[in-house]
């Protein structure tokens, strides 16, 4: 799970950094484009914690992923405008969608990992 946390964090840093660079090139310099990168850095830090204390680190990472997932829902409210071609910041919707997919997959795999660990613990107790 720590390896997956590092991969997820790295992907989010790339998505956030790419979104911010895109906003710079289009004269729409918005720091909010860095939100996926901030979540990614928090996941990278949590992954480091997980190397020392697996359970605590992954719990912290999943909490950040859940908060990030909830935070990505608001930018997606502009999806209809994006599809109609009327959205003023289409990159924000696209990066929010990519981030949401990455975070939901991470949450799913994390919860599945916890369930498997509990089953293994129960069977070997």
- Quote the longest CA-to-CA distance of the chain: 60
Give the chain's domain count: 1
Cβ atoms 44, 6 nearer than 8 A: yes
* pLDDT at residue 108 greater than cutoff 70: yes
- Encoding tokens for residue 16? 């956030």
Counting every residue written for the chain, the total comes to: 125
User: Is the four-CA dihedral 97, 98, 99, 103 of positive or negative sign?
Assistant: positive
The domain in which residue 88 lies consists of: 2-123
pTM, full prediction: 0.83
CB-based contact 65:107 (threshold 8 Å): yes
Give the tens place of pLDDT for each residue, 58-94: 999 999 999 999 988 887 776 666 666 666 666 777 8
């Amino acid at each position: 799970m720590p390896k997956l946390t590092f991969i997820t964090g790295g992907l989010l840093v790339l998505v956030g950094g790419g979104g911010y660079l895109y906003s710079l090139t289009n004269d729409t310099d918005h720091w909010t484009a860095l939100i996926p990168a901030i979540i990614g850095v928090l996941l990278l830090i949590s992954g480091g914690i997980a190397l020392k204390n697996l359970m605590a680190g992954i719990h912290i990472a999943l909490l950040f992923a859940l908060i990030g997932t909830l935070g990505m829902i608001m930018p997606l409210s502009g999806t209809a405008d994006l599809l109609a071609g009327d959205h003023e910041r289409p990159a924000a919707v696209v990066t929010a969608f990519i981030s949401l997919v990455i975070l939901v997959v991470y949450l799913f795999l994390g919860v599945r990992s916890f369930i498997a660990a509990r089953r293994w613990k129960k069977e070997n107790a």
